[in-house]
Amino acid sequence: MFRTAILCTLWAAAVLGPPLNKDRQKVLLISFDGFRWDYDLDVDTPNLDQMAKDGVKALYVTPPYLTITSPTHFTLLTGRYIENHGVIHNMWFNTTTQEKKQYYQTQFVNAWWDNGSLPIWITAQRQGLKAGSLHFPGTASSYQGETALVQEVEPRFHDYKNETTWQENTDKVMGWFRDQDLDFVSMYFGEPDGTGHKYGPDSPERREMVKQVDRAVGYIRASAQRHGLVDRLNIIITADHGMSTVKRGPGVDEIILSKIPGFSFQDIAFHLVDYGPSGMLLPKPGRLETVYNALKGAHPHLHVYKKEEMPAHLKFGNNDRILPIVLWADLGYVINGYFPVQFNKGEHGFDNKELDMKPFFRAVGPAFRQNLVVAPFETVNIYPLMCHLLGIEPEVNDGHLSVTKHMLVTSGSSPEEREGDSWGYQKRLFIGFSAMGGFLVIAFVATVSSKLLKKPKNKRSKSLESLPEKVDIKQTTL
């Protein structure tokens, strides 16, 4: 009995032992801002092409609406639609004081980001992993008092297109993985968005920037090789939105709200317009219907909705931060307030159903199949995929692992078969305690049987003669 109990304890201890981290896979999430799904079709991109051969390529992915930088990036980090995670705009604003902060300043308004949804950095760290972020929107803030373990925010007047800086930052991130043993890093590049805005998505300047992005992809993979990370690092490269050419000039009926009959800014308490093709209005008390009726149907390329009546596919209405009236324009048009003040040749922020708003997607690494092209999917599904690769339990999100799981290999090297430490350890815990209980029951039966065998044989004792042999068989099976 004593010897059996010892064996039982040792065996259960082996089962219950702490999870092994030696083969844990790492994840690098990269965003090239504004990289439209088809940007590689009119440019020679050998590195992106090779990445597709070595891994997975989606025809395109669909971002959430509103298709602008901060909201869509926070969806990548949380797996939630914008109305659910609450980062509804690039700009923080206060409807009472009329204050607005531009994109960079908004990065440092903690309450704008920390409003209930946890980015994957925090979730990973709470489950025993280490995470970092470089320049990714949301990096500057803390969440429930926690930040990414390693973080770097770009300086205020950062040159987002400097290729030398791209390479330096790439080596820095690879060093985080190797030298600080980080498990997850998000990394942001501000191009080709800036070039697409300035010159337009069909310009030669945009094509040259895509070549630079392609060189960066080659450098990223080479740096992973130099740092000895290839066997453990899964690289996911995507973007926040696409880009579309702005329509201007003779023959274009521009949207200028102040010129619409029956509409007056005197009826507006606060507004977010002159920021591309989307806008929001807060009418003064009692003026909502007046404003709404004046704008609804007033321009053939302007869509006007009360927030509670927003089209279901946009999933942009059910949040207190969204103003009562939401505006957006047809592809190619921008919304001007008093008079035109926007001069970009390219814009985003349009309906996410528009093909021009779709970003690209590539993934490569030990967990991913090779030379696989997959159908389009929504970017909310990237978050549960990353959690699966890291072996962590995701927060509540709007994505589904089933959408992306077919991208993963089925060999023993996949995280699917190795199991993440969180779920795998729980299973081992259950098995261990079950085994311990089973062994103790068997040991008890064996002891009782031994005592019974010492008594004079009768029908009952004869029926127990074979019990020790059966116990041994059961123990061998266990």
278 and 392 fall within a common domain: no
CATH number for 274: 3.30.1360.180
161 is a domain residue: yes
Of 372, 391, 418, the last residue of a domain is 418
| Total of domains in the chain | 3
CA 283/CA 327 separation, integer angstroms? 13
Residue type, 195: T
Residues 6+ apart with CB under 8 A from 10: none
- The answer to whether residues 152 and 173 belong to one domain is yes
Report the run of H or E that residue 101 belongs to, with start and end: strand 100-101
Under 8 Å between Cβ of 218 and 235: no
Q: Which of 45, 62, 69, 106 is catalytic?
A: 69
Q: Are residues 272 and 287 in the same domain?
A: yes
- Rounded Cα distance between 210 and 163, Å, is 12
Same domain as 216, residue 156: yes
CA 82 to each of CA 44, 89, 166, 271, 315: distance values in angstroms, whole numbers, following the listed order = 35, 9, 29, 19, 7
Task: Go through the chain and tell me how many residues it has.
Answer: 478
- Joined together, the tokens standing for residue 300 give 């053939």
Is 294 part of any domain? yes
Query: Using CB atoms within 10 A of its CB, is residue 462 exposed (0-12), middle (13-18) or buried (19+)?
Result: exposed
Domain boundary among 374, 390, 418: 418
Tokens in use for 178?
Answer: 């190797």
Q: Is 109 exposed, middle or buried (0-12, 13-18, 19+ CB in 10 A)?
A: middle
- Co-location of 117 and 173 in the same domain: yes
Separation of alpha carbons 81 and 1, rounded Å: 59
Same domain, yes or no: 338 and 451: no
Which domain range does residue 427 map to?
Answer: 2-16+423-477
Distance CA 98, CA 271 (A): 9
Indicate whether 80 and 166 sit together in one domain. Answer: yes
Domain membership of residue 21 (yes or no) is no
Report the CATH number that the domain containing residue 189 is assigned in CATH. Answer: 3.40.720.10
* Tokens found for residue 361: 């997607």
Same domain, 68 and 202: yes
- Is residue 280 located within the same domain as residue 333? yes
Same domain, 260 and 314: yes
CB 160 within 8 A of CB 189: yes
Q: Is 167 helix (H, G, I), strand (E, B) or coil?
A: helix
Start-to-end CA span in the chain (Å): 17
Is position 75 annotated as part of the catalytic site?
no
Can you tell me the distance from the alpha carbon of 424 to that of 393, in angstroms, rounded to the nearest whole number? 11
How many Å apart are CA 406 and CA 337, to the nearest integer? 47
Dist CA 93 CA 104 (whole Å):
13
Q: What is the DSSP letter of 240?
A: S
Q: Do 227 and 287 share a domain, yes or no?
A: no
Whether 94 and 196 share a structural domain: yes
Hey, is 194 helix, strand or coil? helix
Per 3-state DSSP, the chain is made up of helix, strand and coil in percentages (nearest 5) of: 40, 15, 45
Instruction: Quote the CA–CA distance of 474 and 443 in Å, as a whole number.
Output: 11
Q: How far apart are CA 272 and CA 270, in angstroms?
A: 7
Are the CB atoms for 153 and 137 separated by under 8 Å? no
- Return d(Cα 454, Cα 452) in angstroms, integer: 5
For residue 158, how many other CB atoms are within 10 A of its CB? 13
Is-contact 77 383, C-beta < 8 A? yes
Per-residue pLDDT tens, the chain, 478 aa: give them: 444 443 444 344 333 333 334 468 999 999 999 999 999 999 999 999 999 999 999 999 999 999 999 999 999 999 999 999 999 999 999 999 999 999 999 999 999 999 999 999 999 999 999 999 999 999 999 999 999 999 999 999 999 999 999 999 999 999 999 999 999 999 999 999 999 999 999 999 999 999 999 999 999 999 999 999 999 999 999 999 999 999 998 999 999 999 999 999 999 999 999 999 999 999 999 999 999 999 999 999 999 999 999 999 999 999 999 999 999 999 999 999 999 999 999 999 999 999 999 999 999 999 999 999 999 999 999 999 999 999 999 999 999 999 999 999 973 333 333 333 334 434 444 444 444 444 443 444 344 344 433 433 333 333 333 333 332 222 222 2
Torsion of CA 116, 182, 149, 84, to 10 degrees: -10
Which of 279, 313, 343 is where one domain is finished?
A: 343
